[in-house]
A and B are shown apart, each in its own frame.
Chain A
Amino acid sequence: MEATVLYNVPHEIPWQVYIPLYFYFTGLSAGSFILSTLSTVFGIKRFKPMALPAAIISFLLLLLAPACLILDLHQPFRFWHTLVPEYFNRTSALSFGSWLLTAYPVANLIYIYYIYVKNDRVTRVLGTITVPLAIFVHAYTGFAFALVRARAWWHSALMPGFFLTSALLSGIALLLVVALIMDRYREEKLDPDLFKSLRLMMVGILLTDLFWNGCFWLTLMVSTADGIASIWFALHEKLYIYGEIVCGMLVPLALLVLPWTRQHRAWLYVASLLIIGGVFLMRYSVVYIGFDIPLS
């Protein structure tokens, strides 16, 4: 049936690039924080040298993340409205998120102080309290999407999990880059096993992320008209296929697994940088492919 639209009013996309950047920064922050707690809370001694740098990176990224959020507001000077208890909306993921985003940097800063003064017992307690905060700070962004029933590309129970695993992935990749640089300039060399564990963690999480992607593709392909349109639109999108899937996931996976590249520090470095870029593209494509499907 031939049909032509005579007249319609589309509305512009309400979010600027700050929003995917924000998701990216909180993800990186949560990922590096969890990595930092591996030694302080979970007692894996190998990660001990990474605890302080990871926590500091996590805190610095946490300063950038809310800045991105506020920059994207059309009324930036009203950002404090989200922290007025009277205005709190208990059905809104963003309401919870703004409180988490306030509590988490504070907890993070106290945690950094106790690592710095090498008080292991207090660090352990603080880390235990802050890990769930770190997880929720990132998971809520997944829920912010998953709870939007209007857009098939977002409305999925997998979304929070996908956001968490890719947050961890980007955190590990960033820390690997930091560790490689530290190893080069520090007197005391890092344990080579550290790199091996980081590499294996990245491989595991990359496979999980690919699994999430496969789940999304399959379920969307037999979904509603909007869902089918989203997935076919995504598969036609070069940035999604070549950027996120190929360069951000498959190439680093190959680099980390293949025996003739995985031994070399340089390839490890390249793979980490590709992953850091790929996770940003994942945030970007989640946000904008969702908006690309017209609703009116």
Chain B
Amino acid sequence: MKDPKPFSTKTAPKRWGMLVDQRRCIGCQSCTIACKSENNVPLGYWRSWVKGLQKGAFPNAGNFFLRRLCNHCDLPPCVQVCPVQATVRREEDGVVIMYYGKCIGCGMCIAACPYDARFFNPIRNTADKCDFCVARIDQGLKPACVEACLTGALVFGDLDDPSSEIFRQLNSTGTTVLKPELGTRPKVFYIGADHSLKGRIRYSDDFKEEILEYHKHIPSPDASYWKKGR
């Protein structure tokens, strides 16, 4: 039996990718909300979100944002560790998708994702993640977040198509990816992403407070490790 293909597949090979222009992002979280309603993500859980950071002191201060979502790596660590092939990188368009019926909920992919893009969906009881709204893109639509973005900060398209907007921008602007040193080859690119937002801890003298502060916001009932948030 070949892998089940629940979604219609396009004939022409694609390489879907996203470009996030943080210079345009105003941190309105429209994409976060669109993602939640499109994918029916349970309360307290997010497939994608906009991380915000405030730097400096008046008058030299600023708010900086970083849109977080699954980076749809070409060499995805989550696919590498899944013991049942419940998450795969689709050959025809490079989107990393989940087969929810296969997933045993072991949590290895959640532990292995360097971008913290995965979580346990408390209703499905499986791992869950952003899949570029795979049902929409297979119908030729754009992902919900891209449709919802007010300022045009999100560009979605085929990285191999020379006539696409994302191809033009990627080849004419300085872009960056998150954690390039891990060799995961992400397909989500950023323009103007501040380094202090990029998902590593800001090593300082009060890093312990920083980590504890982070853990305070985990949606579990408390910090005792063996309790799962329901």
Contacts and interface: CB of A to CB of B under 8 A. Distances in A.
Interface of A: 1-18, 69, 72-75, 78-79, 81-82, 84, 86-89, 91-95, 97-98, 144, 147-151, 224-226, 228-229, 232-233, 236, 288, 290-296
Given A4-B54, A17-B225, A293 B211 contact: yes
A77 B124 CA distance: 14
A291 to B, nearest CB: 7
A288 B80 CA distance: 21
Contacts, number: 201
Contact of A17 (B56, B126, B214, B226): B226
Nearest to B68: A296
A11 B51 contact: no
Contacts of A233: 207-208, 211
A14 B226 contact: no
A12 B119 contact: yes
A14 B55 CA distance: 32
B200 interface: yes
A285 to B, nearest CB: 11
21 contacts: A2-B57, A6-B27, A7-B29, A10-B215, A12-B120, A12-B219, A12-B228, A14-B119, A14-B127, A17-B226, A73-B104, A73-B105, A78-B104, A81-B102, A87-B84, A92-B80, A232-B207, A236-B208, A294-B201, A294-B215, A296-B68
B52 interface: yes
B105 A10 contact: no
B111 A151 contact: yes
Contact of B84 (A18, A72, A82, A147): A82
The CB with the most chain B CB atoms within 10 A, among A79, A89, A236, is that of A89
B63 to A, nearest CB: 7
A291 B111 contact: yes
Contacts of A97: 83
B: contact size bracket: 35 or more
Contacts of A94: 81-83, 106, 108
A84 B84 contact: yes
B126 A74 contact: yes
Contacts of B51: 5, 7-9, 296
B176 to A, nearest CB: 16
Most buried by A among B29, B68, B217: B217
Interface hub of B116, B127, B183, B229 (most chain A Cβ within 10 A): B116
A14 B126 contact: no
Contacts of B68: 9, 296
B94 interface: no
A18 B196 CA distance: 35
Contact of B208 (A75, A81, A226, A232): A232
A74 B217 contact: no
Given A2-B56, A5-B51, A69-B106, 5 more contacts: A3-B56, A12-B218, A18-B226, A148-B112, A296-B117
B114 interface: yes
A226 B201 contact: yes
A90 to B, nearest CB: 10
B202 A9 contact: no
Contact of B125 (A4, A5, A75): A75
Interface string B111-148: 11111111110000111000000000000000000000
Contacts of A7: 27, 29, 49-52
B28 to A, nearest CB: 11
A78 B112 CA distance: 21
Nearest to A295: B116
Interface string B166-203: 00000000000000011100000000000010011111
B156 interface: no
B111 A14 contact: yes
Nearest to B114: A150
Interface in B66-114: 68, 77, 79-86, 102-108, 110-114
Contacts of B86: 81, 87
A192 B137 CA distance: 73
